[in-house]
Amino acid sequence: MNAKLTLHKEFSIGETDRRVFGSFIEHLGRAVYTGIYEPGHPDADNDGFRNDVAALVKEMDVPLIRYPGGNFVSAYNWEDGVGPLEKRPVRLNLAWAAKESNRVGTNEFARWAKKVNAEVMMAVNLGTRGPEAAGNLVEYCNFNGGTYWSDLRRSHGVADPHGFKLWCLGNEMDGPWQICSRDPGDYGRIAAEAAKIMKRIDPSIELAACGSSFPRMPTFGEWEYTMLDHLYDYADYVSLHLYLANHNADTANFLAASLEMDSFIKTVAGTCDLVGAKKHRKKKMKLSFDEWNVWYHSNEADKKIENWNEAPPLLEDIYTMEDALALGCMLITLLKNADRVKVACLAQLVNVIAPIVAEKGGKVWRQTIFYPFRDASRYGRGTVLRCPVKVDKYDSKEYCDVPFLEAVAVYDQEKNTIALFAVNRNLREDLQLDAEIAGFEELRLVEHRVLCGSDLAACNSANSENIKPVAAPGGSLEKKPGSQRLNIALPPASWNMIRLEAVIPGTAL
């Protein structure tokens, strides 16, 4: 099968905000305890954080980590997680029916985030708590000193404010599963009042308002419209969440589901613009896709887990080659919407629906989905180029006109390089890609790395890394007047990263 695409240096979608390569750590399952934090593990540092886990987080180059939830935050008293360890209460984690020891809280997490070179995206509880507790947390974290909450932080041994810049106004408040869920008007009003207090304390912060928990929520659209009516002037982002699943073993349909992510983004952006137009505002609302991934493998196992234990092994999906392709399509979709999506968090990071698995007392290893994320995070920063594609399409059970090729290109002006990310959705045939690249200096092919395998159910484990990227045979780059033509084969059912660089910087074609 053949595919054509065209790139031009001058035709771009927008800049990738580095924060789209964010991730998420929630007090859920073994994400924190026996995930990032395991005192007594041979690889633990003096604070109890595992160096081997931190090394893989750094390898993924994650600039932003959302914390502490997720559903957890809607019943969390942040005050439980600060101050002397011996005084911290053990509480019920109501969201996940587990025990929370509070040995890790805001200050410990901030220390860990620094260690892995990430900024924290903090969340406030707008379920059981409200505007006052949210404001107190901002004061505790971001105010210099000389007030009750900022001095409390200092008395806890943290002299300098954390300066967290990005905050979530609650989590999935539209969902009936959420502790103290709300209707959109109720949420909009409470969140606007919380936002006023939070920004009064620190005007430099940015706030993400809860959007719909997923696009098939019965209240989708109405939720965004109504809550934004209250929050448009206070929020900087609307948050989106989406998890894909292949419950019916229908690969073609599963790989097509990123189309739903694309239309979700476009519909939420449109709704934001509608509210902005109604209010006669110039401001353009940004989007924060702060939970996205594949999630379904662990659903049945989770039903058997006993309640009220500490760090139960919840949501421990083991990912397949097929999942890596679905995740690749989602990543490309996020990049193709770089003009609106400024923040995104792969949910989650360690053990819980995660690219990194940390065995209790044992090894740490990379899941299949680790690799597309690492490729995009390392090489996907720069100017996202428009990437029109001509390729055959298919219809699946739920989606029509699904292109066999999903692709996006990012141009890094500083390094004078182009990274092309592509998924071949054709499960049987190579895609012979013919890419016309215009407006660039003479290029050379640096590498073509591919993640593929005939067994789409193949997974990795602590002892075997079956699925990892390998060097592909490469392709040809032909010079034409005014453009260059790349011919390259993309194997069936594959994630591809093709990198090009200018041969002699400064020599325009």
Binding site for ligand AHR (CB under 6 A): 26, 69-71, 171-172, 291, 347-348
Q: How many alpha carbons fall within 13 Å on the CB side of residue 183?
A: 2
Provide the 3-class DSSP secondary structure of residue 64: strand
CB 49 within 8 A of CB 90: no
Provide the 3-class DSSP secondary structure of residue 385: strand
| Rounded least distance, CB 327 to ligand AHR, Å | 15
Asked about 398 being catalytic, the answer comes back as no
In the complex with ligand AHR, the residue whose CB is nearer, 4 or 91, is 91
Q: Whose structure tokens read 């989708």?
A: 220
In the complex with ligand AHR, the residue whose CB is nearer, 96 or 234, is 96
Residues 6+ away with beta carbon under 8 Å from 269: 285, 287, 337, 340
Query: Which residue intervals of 249-320 are DSSP H helices?
Result: 251-256, 258-278, 299-303
| Rounded least distance, CB 311 to ligand AHR, Å | 15
Q: Which residue's Cβ lies closest to ligand AHR?
A: 70
In the complex with ligand AHR, the residue whose CB is nearer, 239 or 271, is 239
| Rounded least distance, CB 30 to ligand AHR, Å | 13
In the complex with ligand AHR, the residue whose CB is nearer, 66 or 199, is 66
Question: Which two three-digit tokens encode residue 220?
Answer: 């989708």
**Cα–Cα distance for residue pair 341/268, rounded to 1 Å:** 11
| Rounded least distance, CB 109 to ligand AHR, Å | 16
In the complex with ligand AHR, the residue whose CB is nearer, 202 or 291, is 291
CB 124 within 8 A of CB 132: no
Q: To the nearest 10°, the Cα dihedral for 16, 21, 24, 29?
A: 150
Residues 6+ away with beta carbon under 8 Å from 207: 167, 168, 169, 195, 198, 199, 234, 235, 236, 237
Query: Which candidate in 108, 139, 224, 291 is catalytic?
Result: 291
| Rounded least distance, CB 74 to ligand AHR, Å | 9
Query: Which candidate in 100, 108, 172, 316 is catalytic?
Result: 172
Question: Which two three-digit tokens encode residue 212?
Answer: 């719909």
- Beta-bridged to residue 309, according to DSSP, are none
Asked about 441 being catalytic, the answer comes back as no
Residues annotated as catalytic are 172, 291
